[in-house]
Amino acid sequence: MTIHGIGGVAVPLQPEGTPMSSKDQNTWRDPDEIARRVRDGSLTRRNLLTLFGVSAASVALASTMGTAAAATRRHDYVIVGAGSAGCTLAARLLADSGASVLLIEAGGTNDLPVVRDFTKSAMAAAPNSGLVWPYESMPQRELLNVRQSFVCGKLEGGSSSVNGMVWVLGNPADYDRWAAQGATGWDYASVRPSLEALSGPIKPSDELTRRNLLSQATVNAAVDLGYTFNPDYNGATQFGVSYTQLNVVDRIRQDAFTSFLVPYLTDPRLTIMTGAEVARLTFDRRNAIDGVVINAGGRQFTVRAEREVILSTGTVNTPRLLQLSGIGAARDLERLGIPVVADLSGVGANLHDHLISVALRRLRTPEPATHITSMDVSVFTGRGRVPGTPRYQGQIYYLAEGGYPPFFGNSQAVGVMNLRPTSRGYVKLRSADPAVPPIIQPNFLRTKEDLETQLDGYRLAIELINAKGLRDWMIDDDAIPGPEVNTRKELIQAVRTYSQADFHAVGTCRMGTDRHAVVDPQLRVHGVSGLRLASAAIMPSITSGNTNAPSMMIGDRCGRLVLGNA
Ligand SMILES: Cc1cc2nc3c(=O)[nH]c(=O)nc-3n(C[C@H](O)[C@H](O)[C@H](O)COP(=O)(O)OP(=O)(O)OC[C@H]3O[C@@H](n4cnc5c(N)ncnc54)[C@H](O)[C@@H]3O)c2cc1C
């Protein structure tokens, strides 16, 4: 019996000379068992692929030789970016067709303890971790000119490998609103199969957050304040106070790569290149996509797709890559000397993100070692701009020793986000050199409405952190904001000081049918052929909650659209 390795190399099922227990022999015959053991950590992907004698895509193709070999092969679909959307897209194409897929990722393996151990997410997401694009925004005028972190994952699984693992599907009305904004076929009824397809590979649960006594006290305190307890904000209603659901099983992060692609790692139709950064796309005279130019190991390669190229490169890197390839506002491209392929002014526009404003107090005593979660309790409340959606999401989180700058440790924080900001910014090239980071201007709090909404939200955060039911847990002296904050002016200053970008950036290559839309509802880029986009970049507007699950949904739905199965 043989199994096909990545890249089509046939290898014996039982690796030569490797003694195997009968349990292991059974494992190798059952792909589901292999997937289960890789997920639960008893088998690392590297070991699996080494055992099979196959050079793991994620290991060997990081080498120049591997990249060169993969570049010469023919692939039906070329997907750039192995993040939340790229992985679900690849999995959908492989599951529902016989097509071959080349997945190109700039970063490296995510088969690392710091990724797998869900308690280490802050380390993985740190700008100097080597696992992220260490992007920062321009100084934010309304936030005391402080630059905001716009890091995003640069490794297998993309941002799903470094994020906070809070699992929120979004509100059904978010998707109905997309359809009303011109994204025909993206209403809730249409996207629902793709949202539902995520559970199975992903098993979200509140099992870990619900067991902390501090989480329980916080939920009770919120109920005393008038919030309704909601056992499942991804269920019948989002509204109320809930234990936060995490995509974590057995203390292991469920990232997009491991959850969706492990079952295909030994499938010859899937080739994965890591350590391979796409520098630009090339087009023929009729604006049909021609090549995908990759920098890897100090060399340059060009790959071509038999059918289509799909960019799943996320909210910052997608407009960056399009602009480097001559797709964007002609004025801006000409200024940088980039030949214009398609004049699309919407590329990079419509950048928006949730801003989180944080109130916190120091805990009387550090939490016991059994308290292993940070993102513990969620509140959805208020009447949102879109009928049926909440206005605010509150994230109540525990900060252990050390804290998270500028917030101190051994404290509990209540962060509140305005779920529907109206301020819009942009991502633009600073230079035609792909090595230079782009300009990221989110324009936080630039509309009067956003400031007023954020202020009202902050009042809710202050009320909850000071709730009667939490008094026994907190000490009086250390608090943000402190007792000196009373007037409206002081509150505004506190919001400007204690607010941060919440890593939910979306919208820079908006889907729609108007002239500023970048992709049509089939996710095809206007003005060129053979190129689609699938990532958080295509969202017309941000969803009510954290954006990982909606991004995964976009990948899955893109796969269905490509195959004509949507
Ligand atoms: C620190 C952090 C915390 C977050 N916390 C949460 C949370 O708790 N819950 C939640 O729901 N959401 C959270 N998010 C947001 C969520 O993870 C993202 O919205 C989502 O993962 C975006 O998916 P994506 O597919 O659009 O992009 P990504 O997952 O970022 O994938 C893009 C991929 O493309 C690759 N790429 C980019 N450019 C190139 C290139 N030129 N060549 C080759 N490859 C390239 C990248 O390396 C990356 O792997 C968080 C995000 C971050 C960064």
**Which positions ≥6 away from 193 have C-beta within 8 Å?**
560
Q: What is the pLDDT of residue 340?
A: 98
**pLDDT exceeding 90 applies to what percent of the chain?**
83
**Which positions ≥6 away from 448 have C-beta within 8 Å?**
none
Report pLDDT digits (tens) over 512-541.
999 999 999 999 999 999 999 999 999 999
394/545 Cα distance (integer angstroms): 10
Read off the amino acid at residue 59.
Answer: V
Which candidate, 381, 312, 316, places its Cα nearest to that of 77? 312
Please give the number of the atom of ligand 1 that sits closest to the Cα of 154. Answer: 47
410/119 Cα distance (integer angstroms): 16
Which candidate, 526, 505, 515, 254, places its Cα nearest to that of 356? 505
- Does residue 378 have a pLDDT over 90? yes
Q: What is the pLDDT of residue 566?
A: 86
Q: What is the pLDDT of residue 404?
A: 82
β-bridge mates for residue 153, sequence order: 132
Please give the number of the atom of ligand 1 that sits closest to the Cα of 294. Answer: 42
57/47 Cα distance (integer angstroms): 13
CA of 313 to the centre of ligand 1 (A): 8
Q: What is the pLDDT of residue 36?
A: 62
pLDDT band at 39 (very low <50, low <70, confident <90, very high): low
Q: What is the pLDDT of residue 38?
A: 59
Q: Tell me what the mean pLDDT of segment 151-175 comes to.
A: 98
Q: What is the pLDDT of residue 158?
A: 98
263/249 Cα distance (integer angstroms): 17
* Residue identifier of the C-alpha nearest atom 27 of ligand 1: 314
SS3 99: coil
CA of 152 to the centre of ligand 1 (A): 5
Task: Please check whether residue 357 is in contact with residue 461, taking contact to mean a CB–CB distance below 8 angstroms.
Answer: yes
Which candidate, 166, 479, 165, 215, places its Cα nearest to that of 368? 215
Q: Which one is predicted more confidently, 224 or 483?
A: 224
What is 64-124 written as a DSSP string? HHHHHHHHHS-EEEEEE--SHHHHHHHHHHHHHSS--EEEE-SSB---SHHHHBGGGHHHH
Q: Which one is predicted more confidently, 39 or 321?
A: 321
334/263 Cα distance (integer angstroms): 45
Token pair for residue 233? 């904000």
Task: Please check whether residue 496 is in contact with residue 393, taking contact to mean a CB–CB distance below 8 angstroms.
Answer: no
Task: Please check whether residue 305 is in contact with residue 530, taking contact to mean a CB–CB distance below 8 angstroms.
Answer: yes
129/134 Cα distance (integer angstroms): 9
Task: Please check whether residue 297 is in contact with residue 129, taking contact to mean a CB–CB distance below 8 angstroms.
Answer: no
Length of the chain: 566
- Does residue 51 have a pLDDT over 90? no
Q: Bin 410: left if φ > 0, else alpha if -120 < ψ < 50, else beta.
A: left
81/91 Cα distance (integer angstroms): 13
* Residue identifier of the C-alpha nearest atom 4 of ligand 1: 163
539/554 Cα distance (integer angstroms): 9
Please give the number of the atom of ligand 1 that sits closest to the Cα of 151. Answer: 53
Q: Tell me what the mean pLDDT of segment 445-466 comes to.
A: 97
291/168 Cα distance (integer angstroms): 37
Q: Tell me what the mean pLDDT of segment 361-383 comes to.
A: 96
pLDDT band at 82 (very low <50, low <70, confident <90, very high): very high
Residue with tokens 């009320």: 463
CA 202 to chain centre: 14
- Does residue 275 have a pLDDT over 60? yes
| Helix (H) / strand (E) containing 192 | helix 188-196
* Residue identifier of the C-alpha nearest atom 18 of ligand 1: 548
52/442 Cα distance (integer angstroms): 47
**Which positions ≥6 away from 95 have C-beta within 8 Å?**
none
Please give the number of the atom of ligand 1 that sits closest to the Cα of 158. Answer: 49
CA of 280 to the centre of ligand 1 (A): 20
pLDDT band at 70 (very low <50, low <70, confident <90, very high): confident
CA of 118 to the centre of ligand 1 (A): 16
**Which positions ≥6 away from 111 have C-beta within 8 Å?**
44, 45, 46, 58, 156
Task: Please check whether residue 538 is in contact with residue 510, taking contact to mean a CB–CB distance below 8 angstroms.
Answer: yes
CA of 533 to the centre of ligand 1 (A): 14
* Residue identifier of the C-alpha nearest atom 9 of ligand 1: 166
- ipTM of model: 1.00
CA of 196 to the centre of ligand 1 (A): 20
Q: Tell me what the mean pLDDT of segment 283-311 comes to.
A: 95
Q: Which of 114, 247, 548 to mutate to test the pocket of ligand 1 (most atoms within 8 A of CB)?
A: 548
Q: Tell me what the mean pLDDT of segment 111-127 comes to.
A: 95
**Active-site pick, 75, 504, 516, 526:** 504
Q: What is the pLDDT of residue 519?
A: 98
Which candidate, 333, 160, 191, places its Cα nearest to that of 256? 160
CA of 97 to the centre of ligand 1 (A): 26
Which candidate, 136, 112, 45, places its Cα nearest to that of 442? 136
* Residue identifier of the C-alpha nearest atom 35 of ligand 1: 81
> Is residue 149 exposed (0-12), middle (13-18) or buried (19+ Cβ within 10 Å)?
middle
Residues lining ligand 1, Cβ inside 6 A: 80-86, 104-107, 125, 151-154, 158-160, 162-166, 168, 277-278, 312-314, 317, 321, 503-504, 535-536, 546-549, 551
SS3 327: strand
Read off the amino acid at residue 121.
Answer: S
Q: Which of 149, 155, 159 to mutate to test the pocket of ligand 1 (most atoms within 8 A of CB)?
A: 159
Is 354 an annotated catalytic residue?
no
Q: Tell me what the mean pLDDT of segment 440-450 comes to.
A: 98
Task: Please check whether residue 536 is in contact with residue 353, taking contact to mean a CB–CB distance below 8 angstroms.
Answer: no
Residue 121: C-alpha distances to residues 114, 125, 157, 209 (Å): 7, 6, 13, 16
| Helix (H) / strand (E) containing 253 | strand 252-253
CA of 81 to the centre of ligand 1 (A): 9
SS3 119: helix
Please give the number of the atom of ligand 1 that sits closest to the Cα of 434. Answer: 41
Task: Please check whether residue 162 is in contact with residue 132, taking contact to mean a CB–CB distance below 8 angstroms.
Answer: yes
CA of 335 to the centre of ligand 1 (A): 29
Q: Tell me what the mean pLDDT of segment 488-494 comes to.
A: 97
Q: Any idea which of 39-43, 48-52, 263-267 has the lowest mean pLDDT?
A: 48-52
Q: Which of 152, 320, 504, 546 to mutate to test the pocket of ligand 1 (most atoms within 8 A of CB)?
A: 152
Q: How many CB atoms lie within 10 A of CB 479?
A: 18
* Residue identifier of the C-alpha nearest atom 49 of ligand 1: 158
Which candidate, 423, 360, 356, places its Cα nearest to that of 392? 356
Q: Which of 131, 163, 198 to mutate to test the pocket of ligand 1 (most atoms within 8 A of CB)?
A: 163
Residue with tokens 């633009």: 428
Q: Pairing state of beta strands 277-283 and 289-296? A: antiparallel
Q: Bin 12: left if φ > 0, else alpha if -120 < ψ < 50, else beta.
A: beta
Q: Which one is predicted more confidently, 194 or 74?
A: 194
Q: Where are the alpha helices (DSSP H) in 325-476?
A: 330-335, 448-465
Read off the amino acid at residue 557.
Answer: R
**What are the φ/ψ torsions at residue 467 (nearest 5 degrees)?**
-60, 150
β-bridge mates for residue 352, sequence order: 506
Q: In what order do the strands lie in the sheet with 299-303?
A: 277-283, 289-296, 299-303
User: How high is the mean pLDDT of the chain?
Assistant: 90
- Does residue 416 have a pLDDT over 90? yes
* Residue identifier of the C-alpha nearest atom 23 of ligand 1: 84
